[in-house]
A and B are shown apart, each in its own frame.
Chain A
Amino acid sequence: EAGVAQSPRYKIIEKRQSVAFWCNPISGHATLYWYQQILGQGPKLLIQFQNNGVVDDSQLPKDRFSAERLKGVDSTLKIQPAKLEDSAVYLCASSPGTGELGRPSNTQYFGPGTRLTVL
């Protein structure tokens, strides 16, 4: 089974520029998450989708960050304009909703991340 795919793996931009990240979750996973991981810290949720609807975006800086999940599969996360403090690894994760024997499963599977450097 293919894992969560993310691209690009690395991105360097200057402040005030825009950038977009792409995520393809594990096939059939209804829930998709974007996390921000600043160096030396644990990941923090930015936004959670259930199919193509937003479940939680309370920690998303909406003045500069946006995300969409068209057709309930792939997702893109955009930053416009970028600030120095946006330098971080952006992780995408997906969850199946149900696991073994049809029981609820909230195990999240992570992609390799995109490392963003804002100069």
Chain B
Amino acid sequence: AQSVTQLGSHVSVSEGALVLLRCNYSSSVPPYLFWYVQYPNQGLQLLLKYTSAATLVKGINGFEAEFKKSETSFHLTKPSAHMSDAAEYFCAVSDGKSGNTGKLIFGQGTTLQVKP
């Protein structure tokens, strides 16, 4: 069975500081991994996804994530936080079967607070 663990339900950084949101996954098959962002009263927006190509994945709004199989991790980073980055972030895993459009298994979410 697949699962996702997001370490830290709340992360607070100062504007301009490094953002690091942690995600560890468990999967018996090569996974597809995703990071989504959710702003208040809105749906989820895809930030980036890993689909077994390059291990360093670049997404929107300056975010990137690195797939580390040995550590079963897919941490999300951004070099310099902006006030507009304050939101809820979800890591998700899907099984990597070719052509499959299976369900996403989400982590509990991490709330990012950006202080001026």
Residues of A within 8 A of B (CB): 4, 6, 30-31, 33, 40-45, 48, 50, 56, 91, 93, 95, 97, 104-113, 115
Residues of A within 8 Å of B83, CB to CB, are none
Known: A42-B107, A42-B108, A107-B49. A95 touches B43 (CB 8 A): no
- B108 in contact with A41 (CB, 8 Å): yes
A41 to chain B, nearest CB (A): 6
Output the nearest chain A residue to B6 by Cβ-Cβ distance.
Answer: A42
CB < 8 Å: which of A104, A109, A112 contacts B42? A112
Residues of B within 8 Å of A41, CB to CB, are 108-109
- A43 in contact with B106 (CB, 8 Å): yes
Q: Which of B32, B45, B102 has the most A CB atoms < 10 Å from its CB?
A: B102
Residues of B within 8 Å of A104, CB to CB, are 98-101
CB < 8 Å: which of A31, A44, A115 contacts B101? A31
CB-based closest 4 A-B pairs: A42-B106, A110-B43, A45-B103, A104-B99
B104 within 8 A of A: yes
Tell me the bound Cα distance from A37 to B90 in angstroms.
12
- B44 in contact with A48 (CB, 8 Å): no
Residues of B within 8 Å of A6, CB to CB, are 43
Residues of B within 8 Å of A4, CB to CB, are 43
Chain B contacts with A in 37-74, Cβ cutoff 8 A: 41-46, 49
- A50 in contact with B43 (CB, 8 Å): no
Output the nearest chain B residue to A10 by Cβ-Cβ distance.
Answer: B41
CB < 8 Å: which of B44, B49, B100 contacts A91? B44
- B101 in contact with A91 (CB, 8 Å): no
Output the nearest chain B residue to A109 by Cβ-Cβ distance.
Answer: B46
**Per-residue CB proximity of B86-107 to A under 8 Å, as 1/0?**
0000101010001111111011
Tell me the bound Cα distance from A33 to B4 in angstroms.
19
Residues of A within 8 Å of B103, CB to CB, are 33, 45, 48, 56
